[in-house]
Structure 1
């Protein structure tokens, strides 16, 4: 079977057909016809990619023939060969028959071959375009269904219930207020300590709003210098500063129709506060180095670990900017004020992390969970996540035990218990702490109890190992544990 691209040469002069066919047969499967009727017969019998047709032929001109071909076989690339160069004739041919190219006589063999190569390549490109267009039309319903599913999954992932908490959690009131604010297209300020989930709350607000189908973008204002932050938000023109090698759209323009979260807004400089205030007042952005302004329809959410009212009173943050950002202000409570949420959060994080890393475990031991709930979590949910991940990495069993907790957590939990703060009241230091008041003997005993608690937990209640580490006999260790009331959780088997 001949794999060369098939083309047709049409001319009423046999000598011209023979010469053209001889040149083109070097690279093509050439069919010939000595007139319009013969050409139509060839086209009915064979698959043709391109036609070279003489213009002046008896009965039917080349243009008339190619116009007919255009109606019946529109994919075939049509080339007219003529000895006449009247521009009016060429315009008529191009308009009436959709001519791809015309070649004037006398032609050069290389010119003929080049025209044939380009024509067959164009034919192949047209066919590929048609194939891809058909595939796209057939796939569009499936793609649209997939996009709908993905949007639903995103909304399910970033909704207010995704902020894990118990029924009596202090976070419930914050989420209730945020859900109400989401339905109003107003700027919202979210305040709270680092790691409390401010960005998660911002995403939940976005996906509960009328802008849910638009983009959600976030930028950490505190991590970027003023000059770069202006370019990041407003964009820049090519050559406006060193390194600006091309025009760049800013995040405010990218977020048009959606939401932009300005994280750590309390860290921006007074000079940049003025630039941001202008956008919030006018709704216009001007790229760095540009002369014209553009409008952007963006909902602004902002977040900060600072107390912005105090920053306003101290003169470090503009009052007018504060009120532009805080049409409604929300506060994310720290984890130490949500002790009831620690258990469900730890279980949720363990499920998520174990699935992500392919390490399945059954949960926490009772003692490990008690330690997690007794700790004050100064790093909030982010610290809890890191602690659960550490325990997951180190475990060799199906349960995460207290011995897997990091030294800092064990120190503070042991210190709190030894000081009588079993409810998880915050300690000032993550290391072994010295009581600040009380008789000397009482202070010494509290330190001793803290050391005993930390060591016995780390040794997984193996009294022989703990006694050896502390330089005590097993009898002496047991006596001290009984004296301070240090005992394992019910149901734990201890190693003597």
Structure 2
């Protein structure tokens, strides 16, 4: 029987069928896309395999002499890389199962077959073989380069630890955060739960990341879920996972966040917003060390450390029967409170300077600066939204302002009109009780001057008119009190 010349560019297919008309039909279907060999018996096919490269075998199930299934089992043992497809006019389930288990059949095609279906099946088989070879090659490369991969992984982990370390939490010298970070760093060494309290935007997640990367779990994942962002029904699926078909829209198995965090840390933000019903399920997970995906018959063991956070006063919510007491004591192994920005005004300057550099780089606004009078202005505002609000204000100012110097006037009306530190209402708290009368009056005058400047968005003409000063006189007073920098 004459065989076609082998093409260097086309994959090869071996058709094994004792009926000549079946061979011809298969050849005509495949000839344009493949180099096709034909054989009328297992013996003839064996001879071709020993001397020709073959990607895919199409073999009739029932042939005289050695059956197709017996031959394909032999092919699996001797030429395991060849993809094996069986063609049969019979639908005996036992034959199909035997073919899959014993001969490693890639696909079972029933007669009469359709040309399009057959062609697509062979194409997929060739692609499967190509992917298998690539995977084998990659496995070999991985085995021979384990040291390189280990070094790369170690480098990435070290980079992450440096980026999220406690020393990267921006603060001023002598900041209240110094003692907080020292406590958190000590706690990080031990595998106990941590509860971080604080207003929104104070940096609770940043502290949680620092704890994770300072802990023995630093090589594991750090995953975050905001419990207030999604309803309870979805929160259970997101945290614990679900099985395919567990509910409408569950088209495939979904590993939960606890499973994805195995060996690492789960950060549950705004845990105080969860319902009592969900709290019961979370408590069981923390007690048993296992999760039961929605729709699953059996639980899945998980090994995670939990760091929770909330802006709520959880002890009060426990007293109000809004939060389970047993869950509270489970998550509050150690409680750390992040103070609001208004209680650490000295931190505003380094945070603002770092933020303007980061945001300017993100927005393509290099060279932006915060002059001293702007920093003083930012320090005077109480920042109810804390660091998140500060970052948003700086981003807004950079987006709307073309100059390099961000003056107080470029910030939003909310910040400009907000109640500031050092207003007349607070004089009893900030005016020194010692010193000469002149010195005390100077402090009051400086406060009044700054308040007027803020109220008029740093407009010197309006400020001078309100205070009954000329522009020259206003400028002199600004210089005297260091407000013109």
Fold conserved between structures, TM > 0.5: yes
Which residue of the partner structure matches residue 369 of structure 2?
Answer: 363
Which residue of the partner structure matches residue 134 of structure 2?
Answer: 132
Which residue of the partner structure matches residue 395 of structure 1?
Answer: 401
Please list every run of 5 or more consecutive structure 2 residues that lacks an aligned counterpart in the other structure. 89-95, 432-444
Instruction: Write the deviation string for residues 115-160 of structure 1: whole angstroms up to 9, x where unpaired.
Output: 9858854762354124321453366447665544443333333221
Instruction: Write the deviation string for residues 266-319 of structure 1: whole angstroms up to 9, x where unpaired.
Output: 344455545544444444545567676554433222212233344445555444
Following the alignment from structure 2 to structure 1, what is the Cα–Cα distance between the partners of residues 188 and 318?
26
Following the alignment from structure 1 to structure 2, what is the Cα–Cα distance between the partners of residues 352 and 409?
21
Instruction: Write the deviation string for residues 148-204 of structure 1: whole angstroms up to 9, x where unpaired.
Output: 444333333322122112331110111111111111111111112221111111121
Following the alignment from structure 1 to structure 2, what is the Cα–Cα distance between the partners of residues 101 and 375?
71
Which residue of the partner structure matches residue 452 of structure 1?
Answer: 452
Residue correspondence of structure 1 range 118-197 to structure 2 within 5 A: 121=123, 124-137=126-139, 140=142, 141=145, 146-197=152-203
SS of the residue 1:397 aligns to:
coil
Residue correspondence of structure 1 range 439-478 to structure 2 within 5 A: 449=449, 452-454=452-454, 458-459=458-459, 461=460, 463=461, 476=470, 478=472
Following the alignment from structure 2 to structure 1, what is the Cα–Cα distance between the partners of residues 135 and 391?
47
Following the alignment from structure 1 to structure 2, what is the Cα–Cα distance between the partners of residues 81 and 230?
47
The answer to whether the Cα contact below 8 Å between 2:265 and 2:304 also exists between their aligned partners in 1 is yes
The answer to whether the Cα contact below 8 Å between 1:367 and 1:488 also exists between their aligned partners in 2 is no
SS of the residue 1:329 aligns to:
strand
- Following superposition, the deviation at residue 367 of structure 1 comes to 1.0
1:372/1:138 Cα in 2 relative to 1: closer, same or farther (>3 Å)?
Answer: farther
Following the alignment from structure 1 to structure 2, what is the Cα–Cα distance between the partners of residues 98 and 338?
69
Following the alignment from structure 2 to structure 1, what is the Cα–Cα distance between the partners of residues 408 and 22?
89
Residue correspondence of structure 1 range 73-92 to structure 2 within 5 A: 75-76=81-82
- Following superposition, the deviation at residue 219 of structure 1 comes to 2.8
Q: Does 1:352 align with 2:358?
A: yes
1:181/1:130 Cα in 2 relative to 1: closer, same or farther (>3 Å)?
Answer: same
The answer to whether the Cα contact below 8 Å between 1:76 and 1:123 also exists between their aligned partners in 2 is no
- Following superposition, the deviation at residue 476 of structure 1 comes to 4.1
1:268/1:282 Cα in 2 relative to 1: closer, same or farther (>3 Å)?
Answer: same
Q: Does 1:328 align with 2:315?
A: no
SS of the residue 2:28 aligns to:
coil
Q: State how many pairs are aligned.
A: 457
Following the alignment from structure 1 to structure 2, what is the Cα–Cα distance between the partners of residues 80 and 307?
68
SS of the residue 1:189 aligns to:
strand
- Following superposition, the deviation at residue 241 of structure 1 comes to 7.1
Matching residue within 408, 414, 421 for 1:408? 414
1:260/1:479 Cα in 2 relative to 1: closer, same or farther (>3 Å)?
Answer: same
Which residue of the partner structure matches residue 217 of structure 1?
Answer: 223
Which residue of the partner structure matches residue 437 of structure 1?
Answer: none
Which residue of the partner structure matches residue 432 of structure 1?
Answer: none
The answer to whether the Cα contact below 8 Å between 2:475 and 2:484 also exists between their aligned partners in 1 is no
1:389/1:34 Cα in 2 relative to 1: closer, same or farther (>3 Å)?
Answer: closer
1:366/1:91 Cα in 2 relative to 1: closer, same or farther (>3 Å)?
Answer: closer
Which residue of the partner structure matches residue 389 of structure 2?
Answer: 383
Following the alignment from structure 2 to structure 1, what is the Cα–Cα distance between the partners of residues 321 and 87?
82
1:120/1:489 Cα in 2 relative to 1: closer, same or farther (>3 Å)?
Answer: same
Following the alignment from structure 1 to structure 2, what is the Cα–Cα distance between the partners of residues 112 and 241?
37
SS of the residue 1:200 aligns to:
helix
- Following superposition, the deviation at residue 360 of structure 1 comes to 0.5
Larger Rg: 1
- Following superposition, the deviation at residue 403 of structure 1 comes to 2.2
1:231/1:101 Cα in 2 relative to 1: closer, same or farther (>3 Å)?
Answer: closer
Following the alignment from structure 1 to structure 2, what is the Cα–Cα distance between the partners of residues 162 and 56?
77
The answer to whether the Cα contact below 8 Å between 1:187 and 1:300 also exists between their aligned partners in 2 is yes
